[in-house]
Structure 1
Amino acid sequence: MLIQFLLIGTVIVLLVFFLRHHGTTKTAAGVKIGFALFMVLAAVAVLRPADVSKLAEFVGVGRGTDLLLYALVVAFGFATINTYLRFKELELRYARLARAIALRNAEAPKHEDLNVDAEDPARSA
């Protein structure tokens, strides 16, 4: 029962954190620290599997391997959200860049085009 609350709480916290703080230097540092912490815990799980089993029992999971699976599901969700938000940010940057280039390379209307539009208002519509 405790593991369910922990997993759901972790997912909600990750989602809120990334939706509110994505794209800042502080977030990038947090991602690196989180990744490093995840790697350290992975090494501990490999070196001391009995401790992972004890932790699993403490939080209400039958086996340590199940706890690791749950942690990987959360990590996968985290990576998916992070990738999605990065692509959205890049898409916005490309759109802004394309607009800036289009405005910089825009040509002024020619004099003949202005005269035609003034003579026949239906053609300008």
Structure 2
Amino acid sequence: MIVQIVLVAAALAALVYFVRSGQNVGIRASKRLAFGLFVLLNIYAVLRPEDVTALARMVGVGRGTDLIVYLLVVAFVFGMLNTYLRDREISQHLTNLARQIAIRDAELARREEELTELLRRHEAPDAGSAETAETTVGASPNGSRSARDHETTS
């Protein structure tokens, strides 16, 4: 009797945790229903083990315990397959994301190089003419630049 109370309490705690978990948004309704049904069947099996034994004999299994073990193996395989497929999907998403970031970074680096080269080409002729103008027109007798020339080059 004490074992039944503990098992029913554990099943109910698992159900409450599953329902109240903040990460339930992404879980499909079919999985929610399946888990709820699983918990209800678990509680029924704990409270009425003789019914499980009768069901087991009807389907050709000797004991109810064996039937439950077989069903748990199937549930475990389903869970592992579901986890594997989800992990594979997440891995594919991460690969695609990394690929997109690498392409974007390469494109940004290429554009930055082009812009740097364009600025270098644009400033190269101006730098030569500015130095010539500074030495001929804008320079004071002591070699310092005038305030106007300093503002234009800064």
TM-score (norm 2): 0.52
**1:46-100 deviation per Cα after TM superposition (whole angstroms, max 9, x unaligned):** 0110110111011111100000000100000110100000100100110111011
Partner of 1:105: 105
Alpha-carbon distance in 1 for matches of 2:28, 2:53? 32
CA distance in 1, matches of 2:32, 2:95: 28
Hey, what does 2:71 align to over in structure 1? 71
Q: Distance in 2 between matches of 1:63 and 1:32?
A: 29
Distance 2:32 2:86 in 1: 15
What is aligned with 2:51? Answer: 51
Give the aligned partner of residue 42 of structure 1. Answer: 42
Return the offset for 1:34: 1.1
Displacement of 1:29 after TM fit?
A: 1.9
Q: Of the two, which has the highest radius of gyration?
A: 2
Point out 4+ residue stretches in structure 1 off by more than 6 angstroms.
none
Q: Secondary structure at the residue paired with 1:62?
A: coil
Uncovered stretches (5+) of structure 1, i.e. residues with no partner: 1-24, 112-125
Counterpart of 2:134 in structure 1 is none
Which residues of structure 2 form unaligned runs of 5+? 1-24, 115-154
Aligned twin of 1:17: none
Question: What is the distance in 2 between the residues matched to 1:28 and 1:91?
Answer: 20
CA RMSD of aligned residues (A): 1.9
Q: Does 1:90 align with 2:90?
A: yes
Q: Among the aligned pairs, what percent are the same residue?
A: 50
